[in-house]
């Protein structure tokens, strides 16, 4: 992805995708919340990407608890 003159990408992790329902809504809402909380667009995109990945591992439209989201991100960054 290219923003201005800087390029960045997402590190990918294979996931067991069960259902993609709600993934787009999850990205939009998580991205918006992260930006409203002061994250940069790059930080917000990373957080939203993780959130969508978690949702896709569940069947149906499911909410994400912030504790689970941050736990997954912390585990990935170790």
Per-residue confidence (pLDDT) for residue 4, from 0 to 100: 62
Query: Does residue 51 lie within any of the structural domains?
Result: yes
Query: Does residue 49 lie within any of the structural domains?
Result: yes
Per-residue confidence (pLDDT) for residue 34, from 0 to 100: 97
Rg (CA), the chain: 13
Query: Does residue 39 lie within any of the structural domains?
Result: yes
Instruction: Report residue 64 as tokens.
Output: 């994400």
Query: Does residue 52 lie within any of the structural domains?
Result: yes
Q: What is the pLDDT of residues 15-59, one digit of tens each?
A: 888 889 899 999 999 999 999 999 999 999 999 999 999 999 999
In whole angstroms, give the CA distance from residue 31 to residue 49: 9
Domain that holds residue 56: 18-77
Adjacent-strand bridge partners of 3 = 6
Per-residue confidence (pLDDT) for residue 2, from 0 to 100: 53
Domain count, the chain: 1
**3 DSSP 8-state letter:** E
In whole angstroms, give the CA distance from residue 53 to residue 39: 19
- Answer whether 53's CB lies under 8 Å from 15's CB: yes
Of 8, 17, 25, 76, the active-site residue reads 25
Q: Residue 25 catalytic?
A: yes
Per-residue confidence (pLDDT) for residue 35, from 0 to 100: 98
């Amino acid at each position: 992805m290219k923003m201005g003159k800087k390029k960045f990408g997402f590190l990918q992790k294979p996931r067991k995708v069960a259902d993609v329902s709600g993934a787009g809504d999850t990205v939009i809402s998580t991205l918006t919340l992260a930006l409203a909380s002061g994250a940069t667009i790059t930080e917000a995109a990373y957080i939203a990407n993780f959130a969508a990945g978690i949702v896709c591992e569940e069947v149906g439209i499911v909410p994400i608890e912030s504790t689970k989201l941050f736990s997954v991100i912390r585990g990935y960054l170790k």
